């Protein structure tokens, strides 16, 4: 009996010893390098261990039977294997495969400046757009400190990589904006219609963009409005040029924001010397309403509407009649509405719908002539995306752009009315395929039909990116881009084809330690550009598509947020070589909007002691050309170079009160944008001229921003221009 | 009343389940002991691994996930390397926190941890994330305070936030010292629901109070 018990005990001990299984081995990566810190354990148990610095592991378990052994590590695919625990030693060599993760994978960034992405190495963030001196709260102004753009002070619009301003399109939440700039008198700088504070992110593509975007020869600017606000809020701003009040009411699944803005440059112009004689300083009143509603856990519906009225009266000297002052009066009414909806319908399917409507009227009175221009535009787009696997995504959609344009000209004894209506129907598809986390290609195409021109076009788009290491990558893009001729020509003829530009772009980017360097080379081949032959612009037979041109250049960008403590600077430089034969050019020539060298340096510094952010921006553009009709050489004259040193200062007075001041061209550099000539020569056959100047050499603005919330901790820091 | 019954029921059920899980309690207790010896990223990773293993074995328990996230948040603070790496750790923490918010939406500790996680995000790039994340941190901690105004970790987070943002508001960070001292004095009044419930933070407050002198 006693022996039996001893035997029992012995057996029990032996059994329990016998049943202890040892699991040991090594965890390695794809290149056979050891992987320390990996988690190796039996599923559903507390038995496991982390691999040591040599990748080795060893642990014991009292469990018996069939179990699943798991091994995992951040960024690697989980390893699992069935093991039979029988009390012996199990040896395992585990190889973990790197997980494919789009966030860490290479991205196609050729030609694009993206902002608003929280995690990736961004080149320019939304905050930058607000705090960059010289931008003066204008989206387009801020973009003009990036490479690829040329500053045209007499226009203010975007001129990208040797492209005219009409070649750039703006999209808000996926919808095309027909009239993105406000109306101005000739040779005066325009601003964007939209408050930059509305946007949470921007993507500025200077070439080679996705097949989703058409009707743009040079660039697209994609603006995405803010999603749901965080809380109820009231904002007020008082500036030397106007007032602004805005209120936000939020509920559980939605929010509404209303804004009223009144601007009047009168008081400012009465104390700051102006180069022009304003009979009535620019004045505007606008109202905005935006609405957000969650439609599901992932779905969001956005609506935005803006009503804007502005007017101004400028006295200009007529060059024909020996400097007699003539009033140029402008009254503009603009309404813009935009709606968008997007939802991730399932893990695979995403849907994006967008629609917009534009109503714009410019009433211009000049001497005895009256011109009324009226644009009505509607836009509709739907895009679906399918994520087949981690590595393959397909996007396809359709778009309708409708535009009608009427121009009425009333002269002393005659009047003309011209108009056209066009509908563009487009379809596009694009596949993005990752061969690995190092190599990605995007292949797409777009088909467009214009009913006014009765022409069908197809444009291929192709881009690829290759990541050399975790910091650096190459990208390349190629594509055909079509755009209908400018509105002023379509008024008189529909016997034209869309103009075309082929883009070839190659870029290198490296990002490490908060420093970014980027170099881009490009070549653009312009075809089928519209030519106006002779002076009879009202005859359809005066127009044809025989024009052509090219633009080539190099863009350089460097940003460093690291070297100087609390400081951040970027340098951008563009070299541009372009010529074209289009519009009324008698021969191939460099267009007036192109300058060979463009340079900008922005420096920002946070002064903690006085709670201030200061920003300095220096910009330089080499002389552009202009045409003197008295000379035999077309576009043979050179303007002065453009130089401007801008400063801005924001001071956080209280948590919810910000004081702001900015000066553009503080050094008072003299800037001139060529000369304008009288249409007809004087008695001696000479064309009289006058210099085109900015409205003032220096510009300053002072402001105060106040935010009221229930909690009282929000401010408009993200709103400083 | 309904709420009280419901929360009593929850407490009861969890007590019963704890009593039924001596193995779980033991494993958690042992693993929690590991916090005191963690010095570097690797140590916290190994500890996080253990919590991950327990979370995997006990799918109904939120505490293993809580500590798993905490390990990764701490890793992001210790890591001196590039921002992408720190964000990578926080991505892991974020996943656990998302699960936690779904699992126990009425637990103040979860929102304190969320505020802590968001602080980690902010610290990676204060210049660019400061504005947005300070608002989000305030919101998350506000939720915690609303659920349990007595939670000392939520109070600590508030003091840290106030002190951190004081220079931007023209205030002296030391004006929050009395609040820190009061918090330290009353710290032990808060009794965690069990030995394995969150009970950290006193050291940090002691550090703050020390800094005040």
Closest Cα in chain B, distance from residue A20 (Å): 18
A513 touches chain B (CB under 8 A): yes
DSSP code for A136: T
Residue B88 has its nearest CB partner, among A45, A75, A568, at A75
Closest CA to A667 of A131, A130, A134: A134
Task: Name the pLDDT band for B15 (thresholds 50, 70, 90).
Answer: low
Interchain CB distance below 8 Å, A37 and B54: no
Task: Give the residue range(s) of CATH 2.40.170.20 domains in chain A.
Answer: 112-719
Question: What is the C-alpha separation between B35 and B203, in angstroms, rounded?
Answer: 13
Question: What is the C-alpha separation between B163 and A483, in angstroms, rounded?
Answer: 56
Question: What is the C-alpha separation between A148 and A163, in angstroms, rounded?
Answer: 10
Find out whether A545 and A528 touch, Cβ atoms under 8 Å.
Answer: yes
Question: What is the C-alpha separation between A656 and A705, in angstroms, rounded?
Answer: 8
Question: What is the C-alpha separation between A229 and A115, in angstroms, rounded?
Answer: 19
Question: What is the C-alpha separation between B90 and B112, in angstroms, rounded?
Answer: 15
- Model pLDDT, residue B17: 54
User: A197: number of CA atoms within 13 Å, CB side?
Assistant: 19
Cα angle, residue B5 at apex, residues B3 and B8 outer, rounded to 5°: 105
Dihedral (Cα; A665, A671, A677, A678), 10-degree rounding:
40
- Model pLDDT, residue B1: 53
User: Which pTM was predicted?
Assistant: 0.83
What is the pLDDT of chain B when averaged over all its residues?
87
- Model pLDDT, residue B2: 57
Residue of B nearest to A69 (CA): B53
Task: Give the residue range(s) of CATH 2.60.40.10 domains in chain A.
Answer: 2-95
Residues of B at the A interface, defined by Cβ within 8 angstroms: 23, 27, 42, 45-46, 49-50, 52-54, 56-57, 82-84, 87-89, 92, 127-129, 131-132, 134-136, 138-139, 142, 165, 167-170
- Model pLDDT, residue A198: 83
Find out whether A117 and A109 touch, Cβ atoms under 8 Å.
Answer: no
* Chain A residues within an 8 Å CB radius of B54: 46
Q: What's chain A's length in residues?
A: 721
Please enumerate in sequence order all residues whose Cβ is within 8 A of that of B130, keeping only pairs 6 or more positions apart, or say none. Answer: B122
> Domain spanning A112-719 has what CATH number?
2.40.170.20
Interchain CB distance below 8 Å, B167 and A36: no
Task: Name the pLDDT band for B207 (thresholds 50, 70, 90).
Answer: very high
> Any long-range contacts for B175-181 (C-beta under 8 Å, 24+ apart)?
B177/B208, B177/B209, B177/B212, B179/B155, B180/B205, B180/B208, B180/B209, B180/B212, B181/B209, B181/B212
Interchain CB distance below 8 Å, B131 and A127: yes
Closest CA to A113 of A544, A518, A469: A518
A contact test, residue of B54, B89, B94, B127 with most A CBs within 10 A: B127
What is the separation, in whole angstroms, between the first and last Cα of chain B?
46
Interchain CB distance below 8 Å, B89 and A611: no
Helix (H, G, I), strand (E, B) or coil at A438: coil
Q: What are the backbone angles phi and psi of residue B41, rounded to the nearest 5°?
A: -55, -45
B78: left (phi over 0), alpha (psi -120 to 50) or beta: alpha
Interchain CB distance below 8 Å, A714 and B135: yes
Interchain CB distance below 8 Å, A655 and B46: no
A462 touches chain B (CB under 8 A): no
Question: What is the C-alpha separation between A240 and A238, in angstroms, rounded?
Answer: 7
Question: What is the C-alpha separation between A596 and A600, in angstroms, rounded?
Answer: 14
Find out whether A416 and A376 touch, Cβ atoms under 8 Å.
Answer: no
Residue B135 has its nearest CB partner, among A230, A568, A608, at A230
Interchain CB distance below 8 Å, B82 and A36: no
Question: What is the C-alpha separation between A601 and B100, in angstroms, rounded?
Answer: 47
* Chain B residues within an 8 Å CB radius of A118: 129
Question: What is the C-alpha separation between A218 and A493, in angstroms, rounded?
Answer: 24
Q: What are the backbone angles phi and psi of residue A16, rounded to the nearest 5°?
A: -70, -35
Please enumerate in sequence order all residues whose Cβ is within 8 A of that of A187, keeping only pairs 6 or more positions apart, or say none. Answer: A154, A673, A676, A692
Closest Cα in chain A, distance from residue B53 (Å): 6
CA distances to A68, A105, A295, B37 from A348, rounded to whole Å, are 30, 19, 19, 45
Find out whether A248 and A256 touch, Cβ atoms under 8 Å.
Answer: yes
Helix (H, G, I), strand (E, B) or coil at A688: coil
CA distances to A593, B27, B86 from B113, rounded to whole Å, are 55, 22, 17
Residue B49 has its nearest CB partner, among A39, A470, A561, at A39
- Model pLDDT, residue A117: 45
Closest Cα in chain A, distance from residue B72 (Å): 11
Question: What is the C-alpha separation between A143 and A126, in angstroms, rounded?
Answer: 11
- Model pLDDT, residue A717: 46
DSSP code for A485: P
Please enumerate in sequence order all residues whose Cβ is within 8 A of that of B164, keeping only pairs 6 or more positions apart, or say none. Answer: B173
3-state DSSP helix/strand/coil percent for chain A, to nearest 5? 5, 55, 35
B/e letters for B157-188, b = 16+ CB within 10 Å, e = fewer, are bbbbbbbbbbebeeeebeebbebbbebbeebe
Question: What is the C-alpha separation between A86 and A83, in angstroms, rounded?
Answer: 9
A contact test, residue of B168, B171, B196 with most A CBs within 10 A: B168
Residue A46 has its nearest CB partner, among B57, B84, B89, at B57
Question: What is the C-alpha separation between A250 and A467, in angstroms, rounded?
Answer: 43
Residue A74 has its nearest CB partner, among B92, B131, B170, at B92
A contact test, residue of B89, B135, B158, B165 with most A CBs within 10 A: B135
Residue of A nearest to B89 (CA): A74
CA B69 to chain centre: 9
Find out whether A672 and A639 touch, Cβ atoms under 8 Å.
Answer: yes
Question: What is the C-alpha separation between A173 and A339, in angstroms, rounded?
Answer: 8
The rounded average pLDDT for each run of 10 residues, N- to C-terminus, in chain A (721 residues) is 56 56 91 91 91 93 91 90 90 88 72 58 62 82 90 92 95 94 89 84 88 94 86 90 93 93 92 88 94 93 95 83 82 96 93 97 92 97 94 96 96 93 97 91 96 96 91 93 96 96 94 87 97 93 96 94 88 96 95 96 88 92 95 94 94 84 93 89 87 89 87 48 31
> Domain spanning A2-95 has what CATH number?
2.60.40.10
CA distances to A295, A349, B166 from A298, rounded to whole Å, are 8, 12, 36
The ipTM, to two decimals, is 0.81
Closest Cα in chain B, distance from residue A512 (Å): 8
Environment class of residue B42 by beta-carbon count within 10 Å: exposed (0-12), middle (13-18) or buried (19+)? middle
Q: How many CB pairs under 8 A join A and B?
A: 79
pLDDT per residue as tens digits for the range B54-97: 999 999 999 999 999 999 999 999 998 778 889 889 999 999 99
Interchain CB distance below 8 Å, A652 and B168: yes
CA distances to A160, A352, A443, B99 from A299, rounded to whole Å, are 35, 10, 28, 21
Q: Which of residues 562-591 of A touch B (CB under 8 A)?
A: 568
Query: Which helix (H) or strand (E) covers residue A12, if one does?
Result: helix A2-18
Closest Cα in chain A, distance from residue B146 (Å): 14
A contact test, residue of B81, B90, B131 with most A CBs within 10 A: B131
Closest Cα in chain A, distance from residue B54 (Å): 6
Closest CA to A501 of A529, A530, A520, A532: A529
A519 touches chain B (CB under 8 A): no
Residue of A nearest to B64 (CA): A46
Give strand pairing partners of A507.
A475, A520
Interchain CB distance below 8 Å, B56 and A41: yes
A contact test, residue of B24, B32, B46 with most A CBs within 10 A: B46
- Model pLDDT, residue A640: 94
DSSP A377-388: EEEEEEEEEEE-
Residue of B nearest to A53 (CA): B42
Query: Which helix (H) or strand (E) covers residue A374, if one does?
Result: strand A369-387
CA A405, A407, A408, A414 torsion-angle sign: negative
Interchain CB distance below 8 Å, A561 and B168: no
Q: What's chain B's length in residues?
A: 213
Interchain CB distance below 8 Å, B56 and A718: no
């Amino acid at each position: 009996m006693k022996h039996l018990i001893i035997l029992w005990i012995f057996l029990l001990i032996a059994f329990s010893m016998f049943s202890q299984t040892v699991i040991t081995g090594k965890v390695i990566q794809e290149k056979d390098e050891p992987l320390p810190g990996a988690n190796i354990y039996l599923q559903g148990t507390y038995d496991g261990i982390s691999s040591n610095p040599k990748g080795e592991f060893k642990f014991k378990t009292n469990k018996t039977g069939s179990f699943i052994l798991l091994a995992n590590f951040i960024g690697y695919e989980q390893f699992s294997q069935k093991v039979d625990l029988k009390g012996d030693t199990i040896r395992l060599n585990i190889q973990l495969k790197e997980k494919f993760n789009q966030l860490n994978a290479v991205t196609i960034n050729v030609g694009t400046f993206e902002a608003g992405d929280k995690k990736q190495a961004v080149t320019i963030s939304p905050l930058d757009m607000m705090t960059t001196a010289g931008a003066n709260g204008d989206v387009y102004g801020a973009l003009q400190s990036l490479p690829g753009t040329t500053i045209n002070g007499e226009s203010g619009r975007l001129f990208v990589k040797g492209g005219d301003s009409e070649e750039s399109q703006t999209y808000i939440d996926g919808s095309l904006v027909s009239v993105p700039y406000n109306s101005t008198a000739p040779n005066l700088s325009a601003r964007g219609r939209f408050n930059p504070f509305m946007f949470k992110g921007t993507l500025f593509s200077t070439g080679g963009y996705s097949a989703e975007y058409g009707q743009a020869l040079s660039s697209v600017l994609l603006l995405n409005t803010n999603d749901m606000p965080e809380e109820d809020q009231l904002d007020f701003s008082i500036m030397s040029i106007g007032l602004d009040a805005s209120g936000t009411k939020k509920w559980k699944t939605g929010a509404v924001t209303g804004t009223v803005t009144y601007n009047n440059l009168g008081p400012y112009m009465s104390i700051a010397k102006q180069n022009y004689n304003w009979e009535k300083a620019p004045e505007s009143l606008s109202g905005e309403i935006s609405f957000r509603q969650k439609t599901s856990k992932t779905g969001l519906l956005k609506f935005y509407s803006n009503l804007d009225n502005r007017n101004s009266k400028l006295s200009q000297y007529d060059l024909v009649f020996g400097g007699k002052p003539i009033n140029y009066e402008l009254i503009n009414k603009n309404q813009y509405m935009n709606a968008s909806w997007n939802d991730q319908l399932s893990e695979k399917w995403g849907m994006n719908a967008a629609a917009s409507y534009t109503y714009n009227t410019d009433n211009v009175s000049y001497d005895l002539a009256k011109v009324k221009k009226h644009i009505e535009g509607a836009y509709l787009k739907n895009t679906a995306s399918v994520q087949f696997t981690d590595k393959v995504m397909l996007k396809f959609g359709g778009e309708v752009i409708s535009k009608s344009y009427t121009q009425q000209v009333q002269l002393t004894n005659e009047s003309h009315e011209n108009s056209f209506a066009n509908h563009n129907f487009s379809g596009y598809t694009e596949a993005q395929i990752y061969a690995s986390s190092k190599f990605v290609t995007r292949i797409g195409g777009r088909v467009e039909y214009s009913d006014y021109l009765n022409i069908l076009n197809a444009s291929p788009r192709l881009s690829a990116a290759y990541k050399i290491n975790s910091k650096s990558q190459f990208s390349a893009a190629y594509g055909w881009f079509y755009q209908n001729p400018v509105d002023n020509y379509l008024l008189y003829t529909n016997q034209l084809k869309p103009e075309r530009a082929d883009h070839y772009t190659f870029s290198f980017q490296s990002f490490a330690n908060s420093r970014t360097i980027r170099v881009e080379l490009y070549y653009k081949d312009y075809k089928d550009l519209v030519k106006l032959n002779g002076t009879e612009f009202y005859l359809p037979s005066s127009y044809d598509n025989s024009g052509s041109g090219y633009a080539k250049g190099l863009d350089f960008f460097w940003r460093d947020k690291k070297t100087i403590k609390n400081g951040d600077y970027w340098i951008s430089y563009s070299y541009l070589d372009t010529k074209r034969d289009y519009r009324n050019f008698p021969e191939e020539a460099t267009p007036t909007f192109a300058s060979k060298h463009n340079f900008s340096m922005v420096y920002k510094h946070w002064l903690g002691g006085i709670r201030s952010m200061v920003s300095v921006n220096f910009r330089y553009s080499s002389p552009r050309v202009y045409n003197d009709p008295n000379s035999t050489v077309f576009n043979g004259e050179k303007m002065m170079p453009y130089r401007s040193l801008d400063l801005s200062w924001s001071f956080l007075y209280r948590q919810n009160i910000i004081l702001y001041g900015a000066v553009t061209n503080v050094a008072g550099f003299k800037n001139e944008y060529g000369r304008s000539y009288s249409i007809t020569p004087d008695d001696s056959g000479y064309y009289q001229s006058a210099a085109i100047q900015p409205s003032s050499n220096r510009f300053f603005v002072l402001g105060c921003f106040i935010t009221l919330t229930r909690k009282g901790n929000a401010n408009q820091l993200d709103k400083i221009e | 009343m309904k709420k009280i019954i419901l929360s009593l029921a929850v407490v009861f059920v969890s007590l019963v389940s704890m009593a039924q899980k001596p193995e779980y309690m033991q494993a958690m207790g042992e693993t929690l002991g590991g916090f005191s010896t963690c010095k570097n990223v690797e140590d916290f990773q190994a500890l996080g691994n253990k919590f991950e293993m327990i979370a995997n074995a006990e799918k109904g328990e939120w505490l293993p996930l809580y500590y798993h996230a905490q390990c990764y948040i701490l890793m992001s603070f210790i890591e001196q390397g590039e921002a992408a790496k720190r964000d990578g750790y926080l991505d892991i923490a974020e996943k656990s926190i998302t699960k936690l918010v779904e699992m126990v939406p009425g637990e103040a500790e979860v929102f304190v941890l969320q505020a802590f996680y968001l602080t980690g995000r902010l610290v990676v790039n204060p210049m660019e994330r400061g504005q947005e994340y300070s608002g989000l941190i305030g919101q998350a901690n506000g939720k915690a305070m609303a659920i349990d105004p007595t939670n000392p970790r939520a109070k600590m987070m508030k003091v840290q936030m106030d002190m951190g943002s004081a220079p931007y508001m023209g205030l002296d960070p030391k004006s929050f010292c009395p609040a820190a001292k009061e918090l330290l004095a009353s710290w032990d009044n808060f009794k965690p629901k069990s030995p394995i419930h969150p009970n950290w933070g006193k050291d940090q407050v002691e550090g703050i109070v020390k800094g005040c002198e």
